[in-house]
Homo-oligomer: A and B are copies of this chain.
Amino acid sequence: MVEQPDQFVFNTFAFLVWGALVMWMCAGFTMLESGAVRTKNASMICLKNIGIYSIAGLAYFFIGYNLMYVDVGNLIGSLEFLYGPSVDEKALLGGDAGAVSAVVENGYATMSDWFFQMVFVATAASIVSGAIAERIKMWSFFVFTLILTAFVYPIVGAWTWGGGWLAEKGFQDFAGSTIVHGTGGWAALAGVLVVGPRLGKFKRDGSVKATPPSNVLVVTLGVFILWFGWFGFNGGSQLALGTPADAIAMSHVLVNTNLGAAAGVIAALAISRPILGRIDLFAGLNGAIAGLVSITAGPDIVDHYWAVVIGAVGGVLCTIGIKVLEKVKIDDVVGAIPAHLVAGIWGTLAVTIAAGGRFHIQLLGIVSIGAFVFVVSFVIWKVLDAVMGLRVSADVERMGQDVGELGLEAYPEFVLMPEEYDE
C-alpha cells in the first residue's frame, strides 16, 4: 500500500506518545523497587534506576539499535556506532521538498521508531535491579546494565524483531513477553544466583525472614505507573496507527492489556489466601504486573475474554512463583522473576492458544532466548564478581547501601527501626 503523509504522521506520533509513556514505566520500576526494599537501601535503588535509564538510552544510541535492527543477518545486525535520521529525512528537513515521497514511503520517522525501541531496552534493564537489590555493588551493577543494554538485549532483539533466525521461524511475541520481560527476568535470575540471598533472609532454622515493603504507598504508585505505561508499551507495539485496521488493532491491544492486568490482580489476590496464608496486597500488585506481562505476547486478541484467562493464569503463576522461590531459597527482593520471567513464559506460550501460532516455535524461542540470556548473564556476573566484586561487604549490607555506599539516606529525618538479624 502506498503510504500517505497523514499515515506517516499518525504512525510517527503514535511512536512518540506511546514511547513517552513507556519511559514513564521507569519511574514505575523505581517506585515499586524503592518502596519494596528496606528503607536503608531505598536511595541506592533510586540511583540505580535513574542510572539504568540513562545508561540504556546512551548504550542503545551508540551501539544497541544498530546491532538489533540494521542489516540483521541471522544473529546480529551492524556493529556500527551511532544511529540517525535517513538521508531522505535530512534532505527534507534541509529544504528539499522533493524528498517527501521517499520519506513517506518509510511509513514513520526513523527516529520515532528509535525512541520507541530505546525505552524498551530501559524496561528490560529495569527488571534486573529489583531482584538483586540490597546487596549488589553499584558499580558492578552499572557495568552489567551497560553490557545488557548495548549487547545482550539487542542480540535477542536481532533474532526476533530485527528479522533474524527466530523471526524467520515464525516466533511470535507482539510486545515482548519473552524478548523484553524474559530477557530481564533471566538476567535477574542469573544475578540472584551468583550474588546469593540477602544476609538473614533464609534463617538456619529453615524459616524465611519476612521483608515486607517499607513504603506500601510508593510500591502501589509504582504499579499504577507501570499499568498506565503499559498502554504505551503494548499499544505502541502495533507499530502503526495510520489505517482504520491499525487503529482498531491498537484499541484491542489496550483493552486486552487492561483486562489481563485486572484479571491478574483478582486472581493473585484470590490465590494468595491459600498459598501465602492471607489476602496479600503485594501479591495482588505483582499479579497486575504478571497479568500485564502475560498478555504482552499477544494483546491483539479479538476474543477479549481470552485476555482475562491469560492474565488470571499469569497472576496465579506469579503468586505460586513467589512461594516456590522462597522454598528453593532464591532471594528475589521484589518478585521480579515470578512477575516477569514466569509470567512471560506463560504469555509467550498462551499466545498460541488465543491467537494461533505454533507451540513448538514459541517453546524454541523461549528456550533459546532463555539459554542465551541466562548463560551470558551468568558469565558476566561471575566475571564482574571476580574483577570488581559483586557484593557489598556484610557491614555495608547491615548498615544499608544508602549510608554504607552512597552516603545519602532516603529518609534522613524520620526515626526508623533498625533491622534485626537473627541468623
Contacts and interface: CB of A to CB of B under 8 A. Distances in A.
Interface stretch (A191-199, A236-244, A321-329, A332-340): A236-244
A231 B16 contact: yes
Interface of A: 5-6, 8-10, 12-17, 19-21, 23-24, 26-27, 30-31, 34-35, 38-39, 42-43, 46-47, 49-51, 53-55, 57-58, 61, 82-85, 89-90, 92-93, 100, 103-104, 109-112, 114-115, 118, 138, 212-221, 223-225, 227-228, 231-232, 235, 241-252, 254-255, 258-259, 261-263, 265-266, 269, 278-282, 284-285, 288, 302-305, 308, 406-417, 419
A242 B7 CA distance: 10
Given A115-B258, A217-B42, A255-B115, A235 B16 contact: yes
Contacts of A281: 43, 46-47, 50, 406, 408
B12 A412 contact: no
A265 B50 contact: yes
Nearest to A405: B279
A219 B50 CA distance: 12
B282 A408 contact: yes
B407 A278 contact: yes
Given A20-B228, A285-B50, A112 B214 contact: no
B215 A217 contact: yes
Closest 6 CB pairs of A and B: A27-B224, A54-B262, A112-B251, A46-B220, A109-B251, A54-B265
Contacts of A414: 39, 214, 411, 414-417
A100 B228 contact: no
A20 B223 CA distance: 15
Contacts of A282: 408
A411 B412 CA distance: 14
